[in-house]
């Protein structure tokens, strides 16, 4: 299953929308939504970013994975996947810092 298809299915479920409703919301055809959902078309990068953010996920991870899937050589794919791993590691390392920001901010305001 394509990344766009997986993401779209999860988004529809998360929002509780039918394909027809999402098509109207996004001002696209129902055919386009169906094609993406069935892996015959892809979401635009902009839509991937929006959907991932609304699902509370890292859009960069999806964009990097899509580029890895499009790679023509094993070397290209390995490079994209290495970037994906470093992106994931950076996100994990940043989590404690992000959680401490409110504590730090309240300390400054004291």
Nearest to 43 by CA among 3, 84, 1: 3
**Residue 108's pLDDT is what?**
45
Q: Residues 42-59: what's their mean pLDDT?
A: 94
Predicted confidence band of residue 91 (pLDDT cuts 50, 70, 90)? low
92 pLDDT tier (thresholds 50, 70, 90)? low
Share of the chain above pLDDT 90, in %: 55
Q: What is the mean pLDDT of the chain?
A: 84
- pLDDT confidence of residue 52: 93
**What are the C-alpha distances in Å from 74 to residues 59, 69, 70, 77, 81?**
23, 10, 11, 5, 10
What are the domain boundaries of the chain? 1-57, 59-110
- Predicted TM-score (pTM) of the model is 0.73
Report percent pLDDT > 70 for the chain: 80
Query: CATH assignment of 1-57?
Result: 1.10.260.40
The pLDDT value given to residue 89: 62
Segment holding 49, helix H or strand E: helix 45-54
């Amino acid at each position: 299953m394509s990344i766009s298809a997986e993401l779209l299915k999860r988004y529809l479920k998360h929002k509780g929308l039918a394909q027809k409703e999402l098509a109207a919301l996004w001002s696209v055809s129902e055919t386009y939504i169906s094609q993406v959902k069935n892996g015959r078309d892809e979401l635009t990068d902009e839509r991937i970013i929006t959907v991932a953010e609304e699902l509370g996920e890292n859009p960069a991870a999806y964009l990097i994975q899509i580029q890895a899937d499009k790679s023509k050589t094993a070397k290209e794919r390995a490079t994209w996947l290495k970037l994906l791993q470093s992106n994931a590691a950076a996100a994990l390392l940043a989590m404690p810092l992000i959680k401490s920001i409110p504590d730090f901010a309240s300390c400054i305001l004291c």
